[in-house]
Amino acid sequence: MNDRTMKAVLFDRYGPPEVLYTGRVPRPEPARGEALVRVRAFSVNGGELAARAGRLRLLTGRTFPKRVGLDFTGEIAALGAGTTGIAIGDRVWGVMGRTSGFGSAAEYVSVPAGRLGRVPAGLDLVDAAALPVATTAVTALRDKAGLRPGERLLVRGAAGGVGNAAVQLGRAYGAEVTALARAANLGFVRDLGAHKAVDHRTVPPAELGRFDVVLDTAGTGLQTFRRLLNPGGRMVTIAFDLTRPAASLGYIAFSTVHGRGRVRFFSGNPGREAFDDLARHVAEGKLSPAVDTIFSLEETGAAHRALEAGGVRGKYVVRVD
């Protein structure tokens, strides 16, 4: 560790996946209460695609170069002063956090220790990189929706990163799970535990029936899917329509005081407790990683391109060697 720099994925302008390149940046040093993690893998998430393309430039600004990567797995390489609860060499997973922004597409990250959890023994760190986003599914179904055994659950985007975890967890929580996915992925979501798998391109929402809980990962057509709720039903979305953000967020706010069934929106920001829950779900056999394809760090742009093309089964994971 004599070299004070590291590899990281960067971009110097907003644009398509081709703007991404691998460069060198200063290696971070852990501040008080932080841990330096040697990154072994990370996954590609929809939010960073939108940021790279410039659809969130009002939030991300125009200072370049910028970084990508939200979640990660790895080992603790160093600890800042006063850091407790973890030790050098521990295998961990975590997220960068709202204040840190993106940046896990790199050889090292330094994050507050409270944003890390231990990866269960026996779980490969590359496979494990598909699971930090599953904390969003746990929060959505258990905490936000209060999903109960015997209830009917509809998962929209069931083959994706959060969706595949929601299908597995919905089944484990005792719900009757209906999964919406592309025709090519219907077998995949059935294997995850969905009781019913429906091609969202050929079956209109009105023919799906009624549900007690709807989990949406797309952010579009919220009003249409809200109409599918039973009395007392709950709808949770983890996305909003990036082509019409003001209208989309406005409708979510409107739903809290008008009509049947509130639409709950939240953005995942897990800490150690959430990661402890995640590890427990894995240990109990309720949740397993679903890895579609593994890319190298230099292939991060290709991973972005693949996710934008659609049809992912689980997560695209990038291995950092």
Give the residue numbers spanning the domain of 108.
5-130+289-319
23 occurs within a structural domain:
yes
> How are beta strands 315-319 and 229-237 bridged, if at all?
unpaired
Q: List beta partners, residue 213.
A: 153, 234
**Looking at the 3D structure of the chain, how many domains does it have?**
2
247-258 pLDDT, tens digit per residue, is: 444 444 444 544
Residue 267 — pLDDT band, cuts 50, 70, 90? low
Inform me whether the pLDDT recorded for 127 exceeds 90: yes
9-62 pLDDT, tens digit per residue, is: 999 999 999 999 999 999 999 999 999 999 999 999 998 999 999 988 888 899
Residues 22 and 119 in one domain: yes
171-185 pLDDT, tens digit per residue, is: 999 999 999 999 999
268-316 pLDDT, tens digit per residue, is: 679 899 999 999 999 999 999 999 999 999 999 999 999 999 999 999 9
271 occurs within a structural domain:
no
What is the spatial distance between Cα 270 and Cα 253, in angstroms, rounded to a whole number?
23
Sign of CA dihedral 68, 109, 128, 156: negative
Long-range CB pairs of 281-286 (<8 Å, 24+ gap) are 281/134, 281/138, 281/169, 281/172, 282/120, 282/123, 282/131, 283/120, 284/172, 286/168, 286/169, 286/172
Residue 221 — pLDDT band, cuts 50, 70, 90? confident
115 occurs within a structural domain:
yes
The letter for the amino acid at 44 is: V
Angle at 45 between CA 41 and CA 51, to 5 degrees: 120
Residues 45 and 89 in one domain: yes
Alpha helices in 65-150 (DSSP H): 125-128, 134-138
Inform me whether the pLDDT recorded for 244 exceeds 60: no
Inform me whether the pLDDT recorded for 157 exceeds 50: yes
Q: Which helix (H) or strand (E) holds 168?
A: helix 161-172
Residues 169 and 241 in one domain: yes
